[in-house]
Amino acid sequence: MNTLLKILISTCVLIVISSGSELKAQKRRITSDFVFGLNFAEMDIEGANMYKKPKIGFLIGTNVNFKLISNFQVQTGFFVAKKGLRQDIEVYEEDKAAGQTTTEYTMRNTVANYIQVPLGIGYEVYLTRSFALNINAGGYAAYGFKGDHKIEEYTVITLNGTPYTSAIVETEIDTFSKRMWKRLDYGAYARVGAIYDIFTINLTYEYGLHNVSNEGSIMKNRNLAVALGFRF
């Protein structure tokens, strides 16, 4: 998170410094970006932020940019994004008197596919006739349309140095069932990007504000996305 903030701040400073020497390149008032990339999703779980690993998924969609005054713009779009949660949980117990240790392993893999619409304000500056930097920030709304939640569990008991492994128990349910996650999500996002000719690259951080859990716990989406694209 600190690294992301440094990137955002550094990009903002560079844009402000460079805007005074911007070349008067011809720019359209409405542009679109077709983008595709990867999500590195996590979940902020109140009181249980252990054993988490990034859930890697794809994203694909399009931005629409509406130029306002000078270099300011409104940005919206439509995306399909694969997010979710991964947890590899290991619980260890030792009974020295009995010469026994017990380790319980639980692997949770949750896939959550969303349709997502952002809406933000941005600033884009051309440093040359073909190279530009931009920053955008705003909010997003998302709807979960498909996903599955898989759990694998097994136990290893070591008695006097000899390990005994139980059978693996597997469970699978719908991510957006009444026992799992709510379909609706919303939050805030910040994005920095670059454009060269028709090619684009951007880095986005999404901070979910809605509790998506149906189980009584508090769970909010967190996501870092890297995307490439084409402007047309």
Identify whether 49 is part of a domain: yes
Q: What are phi and psi of 10, to 5 degrees?
A: -60, -40
> Which range (1-10, 50-59, 128-137) has the least confidence?
1-10
Identify whether 37 is part of a domain: yes
Instruction: Tell me how far apart the alpha carbons of residues 71 and 66 are, in angstroms, rounded to a whole number.
Output: 10
Identify whether 155 is part of a domain: no
Identify whether 196 is part of a domain: yes
Instruction: Tell me how far apart the alpha carbons of residues 104 and 152 are, in angstroms, rounded to a whole number.
Output: 11
Identify whether 174 is part of a domain: no
Q: How do residues 159-209 score in pLDDT, each as one tens digit?
A: 988 999 999 999 999 999 998 999 999 999 999 999 999 999 999 999 999
Domain around 38: 2-86+114-145+181-215
Identify whether 124 is part of a domain: yes
pTM of the model: 0.83
The CATH number given to whatever domain includes residue 28 is 2.40.160
Q: Long-range contacts for 137-140 (Cβ within 8 Å, ≥24 apart)?
A: 137/188, 137/189, 137/190, 137/191, 138/75, 138/188, 138/189, 139/186, 139/187, 139/188, 139/189, 140/116, 140/186, 140/187, 140/188, 140/189, 140/206
Identify whether 156 is part of a domain: no
Identify whether 24 is part of a domain: yes
Counting every residue, how long is the chain? 232
Total domain count, the chain = 1
